[in-house]
Amino acid sequence: MKFGTYFAYWEQEWDADYPYYCDKVARLGFDILELGAGALVGLSDSELSRVKSAARDAGISLTGCIGLPAAFDVSSADKSVRDNGLDLLRRILTAMSKIDATVLGGIIYAYWPVDYGKPVDKPSVRARAIESMLSIADFARENGVLLVLETVNRFEHFLINTSEEAVQLVKDIGHPNVKVMLDCFHMNIEEDFLGDAIRTAGKYLGHFHIGECNRKVPGKGHMPWEEMGYALRDINYGGGVVMEPFVKMGGTVGSDIKVWHDLSGGADEKKMDEDIAEALRFVRSKFA
């Protein structure tokens, strides 16, 4: 396993000075920096080159994550919206290839967060999601990027809430470049036992997000870390384990993730660095 973290732990917007974070996470002991994939399409080739060089010099790998906005919903009944979404994914994947990023995860099969003010037609949405993922999977593979479909809780989307649903969707897509992405924050809401959910994913698990049930860094809540560690070893998981803590209010990140009170205890950047470095040591002790 390789261990990483999402840049947005420190940020209030979905973009940032990625070269800065390449150096930071490497110094903190991580193997992977996960980026906001949507922001990559706004970077010039020279800026993408800076990100690639920074990651190479720091000795870390890069991955990306996005919840597609509604205007780019690849499961939409409106073909023009689906086409917009697929075009955005192609631009993201092209940018990722330029920085040697290897995994694109999140709600890339629909849009996020879902609008429950609209009718839910799960079978139709599912069918269109499969069609869209099949249409983009070869392009992703040609650009060296694995697609991983994130399983999220019922309040954020309805299409895949459990590991079992995610595995069946990936099987129905039937493309070797599409796998499952689990996130223990969402699993804590939807799954009976987190270890069993990991074992259900098994060979289909391509990426794993972690964090506490309260969105704090690992070790500051009551998630069953040893149970998850045993399960990951049982399935011989060798992919990325990426922390996704959100502890600060404010900005687009705080609003989208619904962080309405300070979960950091008033921490400054130095203290946040110390907290996540300690969380990394904690997770390695449970998983590795």
Question: Closest Cα partner for 173 from 141, 219, 211, 126?
Answer: 126
Evaluate whether 34 touches 11 at the Cβ level (below 8 Å). no
Query: Which residues face 217 on adjacent strands?
Result: none
Q: Assign 254 to helix, strand or coil.
A: helix
Give the active site residue among 244, 269, 274, 278.
Answer: 244
Helix residue spans in 100-204 (DSSP H): 122-142, 163-173, 184-190, 194-201
Gyration radius from the chain CA atoms: 18
d(CA 252, CA 256): 6
Query: Rounded to an integer, what is the distance from CA 30 to the centroid of its chain?
Result: 16
If you search the block for the tokens 């991955």, which residue do you land on? Answer: 63
Phi, psi of 155 (to 5 degrees): -80, -15
The reply to whether 244 belongs to the active site is yes
| Residue 47 designated active-site | no
H/E element holding 256?
helix 251-257
Between the alpha carbon of residue 27 and those of residues 4, 149, 274, the distances in Å are 12, 30, 11
Give yes or no for a contact between 180 and 163, defined as CB atoms under 8 angstroms apart: yes
Catalytic annotation, pick one of 11, 34, 150, 191: 150
* Residues with catalytic function: 150, 244
